[in-house]
Amino acid sequence: MARLHIHVEGETEETFVNEILGTHLCRRGYVKVSARLVGNARQRDRRGGIRAWSSVRIDILNHLRQDTGCLETTMVDYYALPQTGARAWPGRKMAGHLPYAQKAATVENALLKDICQKMGSRFNPDRFIPFVMMHEFEGLLFSDCEGFSRGIGRPELVAEFQSIRNQFSSPEEIDDSPITAPSKRVEKLVDGYEKPLLGALAILEIGLDPIRAECPHFHAWLSRLEAWPQRVGWGDEGTPT
């Protein structure tokens, strides 16, 4: 029976998994979908950054080893991932110098390689599907600018949100500089923007379909998650039974 752990960056993503994504995936064959906060996000200062990969990796490895029937994935912002030092995430520094189309895959492939090395030769790599949001969670909200503005109670902002969206071929391409990242653009328009509250209200209003239609990288990830319960069962160390 398929079980899924989604390692998320914060409370907004946790709400998204619990209220929208988990319900959808359980209809596709999962018996349980759990959001796992990366670090103690409820107590972490919102500017404190994401937890070090070396620490997150321990959580992922423990779940993979303890439950050989589970699937592990991540849902973290590319923009926030540490690039250097002890907290660095594999592939993130290299990805910063690459074209947009290669950024997410570079990080995700590096994460998968690292987990596979730690799990050993008997590990089935299909049990870990890393996902890095491009460039951050707020980018997904631009998939439906009317739903975004309605969800946060600011319908007068729909035209300004849409103007930002129209500058890019996909909301996932809204860039990641400290000035023009999706969240920074939102903060300029919404005084006192609080992601845990307003971001959650917006994503609940928008739902999955507009995001899938507008965000190809997100759609590809979700399609892989949907397909997984239909695969063969897994035995010890994640080998096919």
* Residues 6, 40 within the same domain: yes
| 140 pLDDT more than 80 | yes
Q: Looking at residues 112-135, what average pLDDT do you find?
A: 97
* Residues 92, 120 within the same domain: yes
Those residues whose C-beta lies under 8 Å from the C-beta of residue 153, and which sit 6 or more positions away, are 201
Q: Specify the pLDDT at position 149.
A: 98
Q: CB of 207 within 8 A of CB of 96?
A: no
The count of domains in the chain is: 2
* Residues 43, 122 within the same domain: yes
* Residues 101, 61 within the same domain: yes
Exposed, middle or buried, 47 (CB in 10 Å: 0-12/13-18/19+)?
exposed
Q: Looking at residues 198-217, what average pLDDT do you find?
A: 97
* Residues 108, 40 within the same domain: yes
Q: Looking at residues 62-89, what average pLDDT do you find?
A: 95
Across 49-53, 89-93, 106-110, least confident range: 49-53
* Residues 229, 125 within the same domain: yes
Q: Specify the pLDDT at position 84.
A: 94
* Residues 113, 152 within the same domain: no
Compute how many other C-beta atoms are within 10 angstroms of the C-beta atom of residue 110.
Answer: 19
* Residues 55, 99 within the same domain: yes
Q: Specify the pLDDT at position 48.
A: 47
| 147-177 per-residue burial string, b: 16 or more CB within 10 A, e: under 16 | bbbbbbebeebbebbeebbeeeebbbbbbbe
Mean pLDDT over the full length of the chain: 91
Q: Looking at residues 170-199, what average pLDDT do you find?
A: 93
Q: Specify the pLDDT at position 23.
A: 96
* Residues 131, 170 within the same domain: no
| Residue given tokens 């209200």 in the structure block | 201
Q: CB of 172 within 8 A of CB of 134?
A: yes
* Residues 190, 79 within the same domain: no
Q: Specify the pLDDT at position 40.
A: 52
Q: Specify the pLDDT at position 234.
A: 40
Which domain range does residue 103 map to?
2-136+215-238
Across 45-49, 78-82, 104-108, 196-200, least confident range: 45-49
Q: Specify the pLDDT at position 203.
A: 96
Residues, the chain: 241
Residue 141 — very low, low, confident or very high, per pLDDT cuts 50/70/90? very high
Exposed, middle or buried, 233 (CB in 10 Å: 0-12/13-18/19+)?
exposed
Q: Each residue of 210-228: pLDDT tens digit?
A: 999 999 999 999 999 999 9
Q: Specify the pLDDT at position 80.
A: 87
* Residues 121, 31 within the same domain: yes
Sign of the CA dihedral with 13 first, then 15, 16, and 21 last: positive
* Residues 32, 47 within the same domain: yes
Q: Each residue of 21-55: pLDDT tens digit?
A: 999 999 999 999 999 998 555 444 444 468 999 99
